[in-house]
Amino acid sequence: MKPAMKQNPVAQYFADIWAGIYTTYAGMKITIEYFFAKKVTMRYPEEKPIVPPGHRGLHVYDEAKCTGCRICLRACPVDCIAVDMLGRGKDVMLLQFDVDCARCLFCNLCAEACPTDALHLSEKFNLACGAREDCVLHCVRTKSQSEIDEFKVLLARKDAERKEAQAKKEAERKAREAQQGL
């Protein structure tokens, strides 16, 4: 076995000084490069990022356009929309339209399926919430009990009118058939 070479202490001294100078230079070079480079971070939330077009963020729902058809529910692959209503079609009162953002995939299938354009995914990106329950978007206006009762009365009246019109039509048809001797 070859004995280890003993290094000259003076050479070692200057080699250490050179290593110190070189590593300081290398570190400062990187620091200075980043100091003058274009910044990739921002002071959020004081500064807001530019959201690119087509970004799929939080849902925006237009209650006035919604018919309660539930097509969006059927389109959703993770069942994160909950809807409750009185009546249907034009005579509808939405009692609940909730989207659970903790489960949502932001796939946009619900908005694409909506036949009345009542649902969109917006550019709102701030989804931060402290608890799972806080991640649920409650989209409909809360109705008072008197509003609900009034609407039930309206529905009952419209239903009675519809039945009456149907009965009248049926009676007219029967009278026409009797006249024709059928």
Nearer to ligand SF4 by C-beta: 23 or 116? 116
Q: Which of 86, 108, 135, 154 binds ligand SF4 (CB under 6 A)?
A: 108
Instruction: Report the first-to-last Cα separation within the chain, whole angstroms.
Output: 124
Q: Which of 58, 60, 71, 140 binds ligand SF4 (CB under 6 A)?
A: 71
Q: Which of 57, 58, 60, 67 binds ligand SF4 (CB under 6 A)?
A: 67
Q: Which stretch binds ligand SF4 (CB under 6 A): 14-22, 47-55, 65-73, 128-136?
A: 65-73
Instruction: For the CB of residue 88, give the shortest distance to ligand SF4 in the complex, in Å.
Output: 10
Instruction: For the CB of residue 124, give the shortest distance to ligand SF4 in the complex, in Å.
Output: 13
Phi, psi (deg, nearest 5) at residue 132: -60, -40
